[in-house]
Amino acid sequence: MEVPIPNLTEVDSVWLGGGVLAIQIDSYLPIEIIALGRCDNIVSAGEPLVVTLSMDAVGESTEVLIPLSQISLIGAGEEMLSLEWDWSFVLVSSGQPVEAGELLTIKASFDEATVAGVFGKFSSELSHNIEAQVAIPELTSWDPALFYLSAPRLLLEVKNSFGVDLGLEVSELSLLADGSHTPLHGNAIHEFPVFEGAPAVGDTTWISHVLDNTGMVPTLSDVMNLANDSLLLIGAVDVLPNPSGGQFATATDVLSCSGSFEVPLAGWVKGLTWRDTLLTPISQALRDGVAPPLDWMDVSSLTLRFIVDNALPLELNGSVNFINIHGDSLLAGPDIAIPGGADAPAIVTVDYVLNRTLALELLEMQCTAVALSWTLATTGAGIGESIQVFADDLVSMRIAAKVECQIDPDP
């Protein structure tokens, strides 16, 4: 019995995940028959498959159906597996004569068998075409005259759980903007690394590949500053030949690719706006801070101190607004100018003094947050000053309050 396996040039074994194996005996002999079959190439629960069929002397046929879940076919061959059976028979005569030419036949067939995994050597001619388009929503609009991407890069992470080395042939890699294509060329694109196969079933191999300005024409900086909206990839994934075999593929194996567009802040920048909101119950904290024997009728002024630590090598020019839980602006705060951090964070302290009227107004406003709006720039943006922002460069803000009271000794 031979089972052809497509896409394999050499077969070691096959995992089956469903279907049935039907074994049938046909006989019109006037003999009781007990047939015992064993196939060392079909393994179930770690043991060779053994089947028993019996027929009485009336004849015709009998059949046994064997479920194929968690069944392995083991052997070695080119593009197919040979399944060899050993049969033994017990024949009991009914006393009737046997006509000349009568036959005893055994048939075996697979019905709706599903393959859960194959092991061997895949054909090097096996290829799968791909076409993928990924949106880049972050780049839909900006003014490149104010924000120039000096070192953008595309980081591709490929996951391969097949036990097969795979290669990517890129026919087209383009950036799209309003329907126009900007094809990318160069060694970084046409010399993708081999997607190495997983060493064992259940394992996964991860491969990273970076597309940046090096080895690309045009450079990513040139095309990304055109505010592209998506990335298009057309190509084929090819199976790479392995002289020693030992390749495998299971139904749960995947080849997947995830990508990220990274923009290290290196170069110069100006006019970039960054907005943030700090949630803090300012009104409630102020009410809780004035305890008897004092009350808010004794308040003469309120000083809010903003302490900003800036480790970014960027100048920050910002404004503060006090808002309620709905985001409505209640009261304008101070303007804050902060120099960029160099070897150490730049620390700026700004005191914002509210007179009695404004202090009482803030107390009654139910202020629950502070809205910040920063304009970022490098000090020498006009002359192309170069800076670089690292992951641990942070900006922090602390807010403190000082309440001054005036007590009339003769109320």
Q: Looking at per-residue confidence, does 141 or 27 come out higher? A: 27
Q: Is residue 410 part of a domain?
A: no
Pairing of strands 395-405, 299-310: antiparallel
In terms of domains, do 79 and 187 share one?
no
Q: What is the pLDDT of residue 139?
A: 47
Q: Which among 237, 264, 291 is the end of a domain?
A: 264
Per-residue pLDDT at 395 exceeds 90: no
Q: Which among 121, 138, 153 is the end of a domain?
A: 121
In terms of domains, do 230 and 188 share one?
yes
Identify the band that residue 342 occupies on the pLDDT scale cut at 50, 70 and 90.
low
In terms of domains, do 211 and 292 share one?
no
Q: Which among 121, 148, 166 is the end of a domain?
A: 121
Q: Is residue 99 part of a domain?
A: yes
What phi, psi does 340 have (nearest 5°)? -75, 145
CA-based nearest residue to 336, from 353, 354, 359, 315: 315
d(CA 25, CA 53): 8
pTM of the model: 0.53
Q: What is the pLDDT of residue 200?
A: 85
In terms of domains, do 33 and 158 share one?
no
d(CA 66, CA 84): 17
Q: What is the pLDDT of residue 77?
A: 64
pLDDT digits 0-9 by tens, 190-217? 888 999 999 888 899 999 998 888 888 8
pLDDT digits 0-9 by tens, 283-336? 888 878 776 666 767 778 889 898 988 888 888 888 888 888 777 877 888 888
Mean pLDDT of the chain, nearest integer: 81
Q: Looking at per-residue confidence, does 138 or 13 come out higher? A: 13
Residue 265, helix vs strand vs coil: coil
In terms of domains, do 294 and 395 share one?
yes
What phi, psi does 276 have (nearest 5°)? -150, 160
Q: Is residue 324 part of a domain?
A: yes
pLDDT digits 0-9 by tens, 99-135? 777 788 888 888 888 888 888 888 778 888 989 888 7
Q: How many domains does the chain have?
A: 3
Q: Please, how many CA atoms are within 13 Å of residue 227, restricted to the half-sphere of its CB?
A: 9
Q: What is the pLDDT of residue 116?
A: 81
CATH of the domain at 330: 2.60.40
In terms of domains, do 244 and 318 share one?
no
Q: Please, how many CA atoms are within 13 Å of residue 81, restricted to the half-sphere of its CB?
A: 23
CA-based nearest residue to 62, from 52, 70, 50, 48: 52
CA-based nearest residue to 255, from 183, 192, 321, 206: 206
Quick one: how far is CA 321 from the chain centroid?
39
In terms of domains, do 366 and 346 share one?
yes
d(CA 178, CA 154): 20
d(CA 253, CA 343): 49
Domain membership of residue 374 as a residue range: 272-405
